Chains A and B, each alone.
Chain A
């Protein structure tokens, strides 16, 4: 049975033949026309269900012909094939005025054309929302959805509430009895409630206004009406912003990542009362504080949830117990690069060096202020953030973007929504996503078109791209892969499946990047990516006028290790040394396997002396490590190093590496197992 009759107006003979054959095989009756005259003849003798019109025709433009066609066939579905890229304006002209069902960009494949023909001929199925059906939701997702809905409703009423407040203040200014009390109650409620619904800025502004109003209401001071009015106007603006069409991110599905938090930090100390104070301080300043009273509790807490960083008491449990806790945290896979900060009453230099070697970005002398806490949290969260993967979602339906974002957002994944396909290229440059989710059917260029564009940009050739579509036929799948997509998801998209597919793609992309940039034996950066990062770090150091210490090190008598204990033993040494270097120093420090048994580490903010002190702790640790030879014998390894520091030793990566190498050579000459500066 025929699926329908198509008028196919295309003057390219080869394309005409190829596509007609494909469409006929799939059950369409195809009436071919190579010119407008032939097309008119076809329409005189046959009734067609849809027309495919090429943009460039002999003698008459496709657009003009469609105009003519519309006079006799006002409702005929028309597909317009264009060899030129159509901008938003001409797209709108074609689709709105000429009622073109779809603009196809040439070259298109027969499969892709088929997908759009099917859609044009068959009445479109009711749009399936991307929202997972309710019974498929996990309890966590259901809760997040319920919260998001409540927040949205509350947000929609915020403007009214502020208006009510402004009115009450106005009445109070006019001297109306009770109006001041009304205003005070309203602002007090906003303070307490808005934050609970996720509108933290509104809540904070209301809190400030409450403080301003309290003495007036208690009869302790006169009202400064002008400044009250300004404060209410500000509050109104914040409320407005809170409910603009694309609201701030929804409360995320996982419990520890509700919107508005600056980050999650682990604070470990023996003092329970002080921990409670830190929790409260954290709540006030929008930092989620997770507390631990012992080393075990700290490790346990870090296993259970995402942390942006950890603040550890230097003497946790016992003297220098914090360093031990740090070593254990750094030994766990999931927290190997967790940013750390130490605090303690001892502020002397050896402690600071020990802290840096244990991986601390900061050493805070106690007692520290709220500002110190906030600064360290922000810094740690910023250090860790690049580890999150970014997913860019392009869909013209804001509800779909929101649903996908709610389903995908987690501690490991950040979602950026985009509704305008014409901004895709800009958005790629701006957000640098690790994965792209593309809706196939959008006004303007289709997902296929966009996918081809992205693939044509060298920088984005390997970006994972997933289509989201209501189509399921094999033609669609072929068209999707031809356009360059990696995978596709059918609507309705289920939360679990979406997460599984996206996460596996992200994981694979990350592995591919690691393979290209990291040494497989030690897990450290390879020489080329290291030098690139080092250049950036050096530029930053020079700009901040901070020193950058480059430490080039080499395992002593490594050839003898290989000869005496076997090559497998030699590999074990390199692996352990690589691991030791990853687990020590700060998250932001750069580590590289320079080649053979040589390694480089760059420490920002350290002088030659402090870098030597920090590295010598690691060298002593290595010295104490027992290694096993291929025949079960035990041996030990030492290292020699040379350190160069930016500024005094040069301002170019090459110069610093050369100086460090000269000093490493000197360390070898001077008897090994030493660090020269």
Chain B
């Protein structure tokens, strides 16, 4: 399925800023932003993105918990999710994939090639 709209979830404003630049200008995708797990659940339901990029470590509801809640919500049960995290050790990657993510992208990411990385994970 072609990607048209992406939801980027990260509690850090700087990542949302550069992420939006990368996703919209390089990837040419409509980009929706959320700053927390709660906001992600609402925005995902309202906007129906084709893909969700989810930060792992967030205060309050963390990435894995948010993913579980997205899966429980009918409108987002099938939406592909990619985790973004600054710690990508093998066992952690495996755990995120078990949780149902389609892939994991390491931070720091390269804004100019992020969309290409995403396309590799979501063919």
Contact = CB atoms under 8 A, between A and B. Distances in A.
30 contacts: A139-B25, A143-B21, A143-B112, A146-B21, A147-B112, A150-B18, A154-B18, A185-B59, A188-B86, A191-B107, A191-B108, A192-B15, A192-B84, A192-B85, A196-B15, A196-B18, A196-B107, A196-B108, A196-B109, A196-B111, A197-B18, A203-B108, A251-B112, A255-B26, A256-B112, A258-B110, A280-B88, A280-B106, A283-B106, A283-B110
Interface residues of B, number: 23
B108 A192 contact: yes
Given A185-B59, A188-B57, 10 more contacts: A143-B21, A146-B25, A150-B17, A154-B14, A192-B84, A193-B14, A194-B108, A195-B108, A196-B107, A197-B108
Most chain B CB atoms below 10 A, which of A139, A192, A193, A284: A192
Interface of B: 12, 14-15, 17-18, 21, 25-26, 57, 59, 84-88, 106-113
Nearest to B84: A192
A629 B106 CA distance: 61
Given A185-B59, A188-B57, A255-B112, A195 B107 contact: yes
| Interface range on chain A (Cβ under 8 Å from partner) | 20 to 34
A54 interface: no
B84 to A, nearest CB: 8
A150 B21 contact: yes
A193 B12 contact: yes
Contact of B113 (A146, A210, A255): A255
Contacts of A207: 86
Given A143-B26, A150-B18, A193-B12, A185 B107 contact: no
A200 interface: yes
A255 B14 CA distance: 21
B20 to A, nearest CB: 10
Contacts of B26: 143, 255
Chain A contact residues, majority secondary structure: helix
A152 interface: no
A241 interface: no
A280 B113 CA distance: 13
B21 to A, nearest CB: 6
A189 interface: yes
Nearest to A204: B108
Contacts of A143: 21, 25-26, 112
A284 B86 CA distance: 11
B21 A192 contact: no
B106 to A, nearest CB: 7
Interface pairs A-B: 5 shortest CB-CB: A195-B108, A192-B107, A192-B86, A196-B108, A255-B112
